[in-house]
Structure 1
Amino acid sequence: MAVPPTDRRQVLAWSFYDWANSAFATVVIAGFFPVFFKQFWAADLAVTDSTRWLGYTSSTASLILVCMAPLLGALADQLGAKKRFLLTFTTLGVLGTGGLFWLAAGHWGAALALYLFGLVGFLASNVFYDSLITDVADPGDYERVSSLGYALGYLGGGLLFALNVVMVQFPASFGFADAGAAVQAAFLGVALWWALFTLPLAFLVKEPPGLGEQSFGGALRGAFSALAQTFRQVRSLRNTFLFLIAYWFYIDGVDTIVFMAVDFGLSLKFPAASLMVALLITQFVGFPAALIFGRLGSRWGPKPSILLAIGVYMLVVAAASQMQQVSHFYALAVAIGLVQGGVQALSRALFAGLIPAGQTAELFGFYNMVGKFGAVLGPFLVGTTAYLTGDPRLSLLPILLLFLIGAVLLTRVDVAAGRAAAGAAS
């Protein structure tokens, strides 16, 4: 049974995990690693080769999650071990990220290996973090609580990233020999931040027991059995299944913009410092915007609010095809900040209301699997379009199709009927 929403300690402890791991998403994935990898660890590689290997590593992490998330989710439900699994993968991510601090120039293979550990730890821990929302919040509060998590993530990631940018711009003021040393210290800082702010969840969040005392082997057999049953069950829950397909398309568009934004700006010859400023704009706009979307989701319902966010994204993509100046990039960073946290938070909240109780980790494994499997298509379309047209401004246009398909499918999801069916299946 979910914890009553008045237990604010558990809600805040859960939400602060977003504050913790968003540092990795902001500082490492979106911010420093792509640039530092090219300029420091892989400086001797051709630019096309470093891009290729970086892309392969990101795709490998997504494919690992696609393959293992549903099974690990089912196993966590069997054992009542969502927190343990979250902490295990958090440890993997922290160690991988922290290891970048000690890596010398030229070791691009080792850098990619550590980055892969960090990515897998980040992506897999989110499966169990997402699923714990049903244990800390009442169903009527999913939108508000989910949005609080994303808002704190934007704020925490933004604050640490702002500090790191200042460190890189003025390394001597912080005791560093140069900007490169400051960047490597930033990686260690992310690892420590991630570990420290995971502690509230580790100590305060409670989860219900699994299916009783059983051996690991018995739980694993039960997980495989439950997984096969869940495949059939998801297909039978029409609105849940339809939402997952819609989510597959539109979140692919969202994630593609997140992963490709810096590369897009670099392709247009914008200064790297300006791109860092744009990322900061998105973070700090995203903090209040995610909270506002939580209120919109509670008042309008999550589906209309998600459709509003998708509409803004489509305008952003269309505008990007006409981009000429850094100021345009800043304007689009504001627009993305207004809706990015909202679409992510309300999608998580909507899905939480469309799944049966007792299978949350397993079904959020499907949810994350769908999101990361979809993330393979968008970057491929962007890269192919850039290659065929020779114009990076046109490379994002195929994402319009992903948003359009996702929006059309989402309009066909009957949320009330889906919630009723999930309740009956519980």
Structure 2
Amino acid sequence: MDKQKRTVYAWAMYDWANSAFATVILATVLPIFYKDVAGIDLPGNLATSYWGYTQTIAMVIIAFVSPILGAAADYSDSKKIFLKFFVFLGVSGTALLFFVNEGNYLLASFFFIIANIGFSGGNVFYDGFLTEISDSKSIDYISSLGYAAGYLGGGLLLAINLLLISKPSLFNISSVTSAIQISFVTVAVWWLIFSLPAFKFLPEPKKRLEKIPLNKYAKMAFGRLKSTFIHIRKYRELWKFLLAFWLYNDGIGTIIRMATIYGREVGIGQTDLIGALLLTQFVGIPFALIFAKIAGKITAKKGIYLALIIYTGITFYGYFLDSALDFWILAGIVGMVQGGAQALSRSLYGVMVPESKSAEFFGFFGVSSKFAAIIGPTVFAYTGQLTGSSRYGILAVAAFFILGMFFLSRVDVEKGKLEAKNQ
């Protein structure tokens, strides 16, 4: 295997590694555990609302930190070092969920926030490598390859954990609760082990910049942050795309984070919820690559439009969700568009980013994706708490997709590419 292919596969393998967190912790097992075990004493739909607020707190922290991280990584040329740090942070927070028991919803929220900061912070630097290992011809494919690997890896561990949770006696485990707690540890181990190829094969810095004293590092990072705000506004099409992405990814992130606990609230069983989300993973594998082909035919921008139209329909269907079959259908449709929308968004952003500012501007992409996870879960949680039903919360998510499409229509991609080249 040549060096370029090895590097690309190592990069994609990190998506395989950390997607175990996205599937088991973020999307399926932990939300159910949060409602049924950690939040067992909470009345009505408060557990669902508190889970939404937990998402908001985690995302507020990482949204404010990630641009600093991106600028700092670009200045120090240390993306790989930062990636390792956040992997270890995420793995530690995930493993600590093993110790959460009945009624410990605050402890569950705290450990999840630590883990999610690790997950999100690591993605800032992972995304920053994309422009280093690809060119304008391969970026759509490589970005989609990462998402496909993530669906496969995350789906595989989710399948293992579904068996573990549904048949704990096969593994000599005393209860379903214990099986779920053990599943949290499997995520931590999986994430760490399959991150090792990225640690080994992703490119080292091409040059070493001058080291700065630790006591000046924060000052330099904040100075770079201020500079980034000024610089990114000069790239008008890139900036307009960020605004659109911020809106529609808010909707995508809300569905990822709230779908399972919402399904549990309306009475769908644990096995159906986990099984349906497993379907999402495996449907997502071919469709992440299919959307790359679609982008080649109709452009990435139109591919994103297609995904967002489908997402809008998902929110309306979700309002009327009434059975396990409905949830399975929705899960399959989400699998068709989730990876495609995110992969094409990342690659479309990448072709409008100046190469010399990749880490810095992908730090801003990290900000966008993190801020895009703040408002949606808050709106969902507050709407559900206010009305006493989360059905109105899922309906409100449609607004983010509609507004996102409106702002995306204002982006001139070809002009954005020229702006990046003529930096």
What band does the TM-score fall into relative to the shorter chain? over 0.9
Does the C-alpha gap of structure 1 residues 49 and 36 become closer, same or farther in structure 2, counting only changes over 3 Å? same
- 1:139 is displaced (CA, Å) by 2.4
CA contact (8 A) 2:50 2:381 kept: no
Does the C-alpha gap of structure 1 residues 46 and 301 become closer, same or farther in structure 2, counting only changes over 3 Å? same
Counterpart of 1:136 in structure 2 is: 133
Does the C-alpha gap of structure 1 residues 208 and 61 become closer, same or farther in structure 2, counting only changes over 3 Å? same
CA contact (8 A) 2:53 2:381 kept: no
Cα RMSD, aligned residues only: 2.0
Is 1:383 the counterpart of 2:384 in the alignment? Answer: no
- 1:243 is displaced (CA, Å) by 0.2
Q: Partners of 1:320 and 1:58 in 2: how far apart?
A: 20
Counterpart of 1:148 in structure 2 is: 145
What does the per-residue CA deviation read over 1:269-322, in whole Å, with 9 as the maximum and x for residues that have no partner? 222221111101111100111011122223322111111110111111122233
Is 1:315 the counterpart of 2:313 in the alignment? Answer: yes
Q: Partners of 2:285 and 2:350 in 1: how far apart?
A: 22
Q: Partners of 1:37 and 1:323 in 2: how far apart?
A: 21
- 1:376 is displaced (CA, Å) by 2.0
Q: Could you tell me which of 118, 121, 132 is aligned with 2:118?
A: 121
Counterpart of 2:203 in structure 1 is: 206
Counterpart of 1:399 in structure 2 is: 397
Counterpart of 1:414 in structure 2 is: 412
CA contact (8 A) 2:52 2:258 kept: no
Counterpart of 1:283 in structure 2 is: 281
Does the C-alpha gap of structure 1 residues 103 and 403 become closer, same or farther in structure 2, counting only changes over 3 Å? closer
- 1:385 is displaced (CA, Å) by 3.8
- 1:416 is displaced (CA, Å) by 0.9
Q: Is the deviation greater in 210-219 or in 330-339?
A: 210-219
1:10-409 to 2 correspondence within 5 Å?
A: 10-46=7-43, 48=45, 50-209=47-206, 212-217=209-214, 220-387=218-385, 389-409=387-407
Q: Partners of 2:171 and 2:416 in 1: how far apart?
A: 54
- 1:234 is displaced (CA, Å) by 1.3
Q: Partners of 1:238 and 1:296 in 2: how far apart?
A: 26
Structure 1 SS opposite 2:356: coil
Q: Partners of 1:316 and 1:103 in 2: how far apart?
A: 33
- 1:210 is displaced (CA, Å) by 5.7
CA contact (8 A) 1:28 1:187 kept: yes
Structure 2 SS opposite 1:134: coil
TM-score, normalized by length of structure 1? Answer: 0.93
Letter in 1 for 2:221: A
Does the C-alpha gap of structure 1 residues 267 and 100 become closer, same or farther in structure 2, counting only changes over 3 Å? closer
Q: Partners of 2:398 and 2:51 in 1: how far apart?
A: 25
- 1:54 is displaced (CA, Å) by 3.2
Q: Partners of 2:222 and 2:99 in 1: how far apart?
A: 40
TM-score, normalized by length of structure 2? Answer: 0.94
Structure 1 SS opposite 2:132: helix
Gaps of 5+ in 2: none
Structure 1 SS opposite 2:422: helix
Does the C-alpha gap of structure 1 residues 250 and 205 become closer, same or farther in structure 2, counting only changes over 3 Å? same
What does the per-residue CA deviation read over 1:214-258, in whole Å, with 9 as the maximum and x for residues that have no partner? 214565544333322221121111100000000011001111111
CA contact (8 A) 1:158 1:283 kept: yes
Q: Partners of 2:265 and 2:109 in 1: how far apart?
A: 22
Q: Partners of 1:53 and 1:383 in 2: how far apart?
A: 7
CA contact (8 A) 1:250 1:310 kept: yes
Letter in 1 for 2:128: S
Q: Partners of 1:390 and 1:112 in 2: how far apart?
A: 22
- 1:208 is displaced (CA, Å) by 3.4
Does the C-alpha gap of structure 1 residues 49 and 329 become closer, same or farther in structure 2, counting only changes over 3 Å? closer
CA contact (8 A) 1:148 1:294 kept: no
Q: Partners of 2:392 and 2:57 in 1: how far apart?
A: 26
CA contact (8 A) 2:140 2:344 kept: yes
- 1:126 is displaced (CA, Å) by 0.5
Does the C-alpha gap of structure 1 residues 67 and 378 become closer, same or farther in structure 2, counting only changes over 3 Å? same
Aligned residues: 421
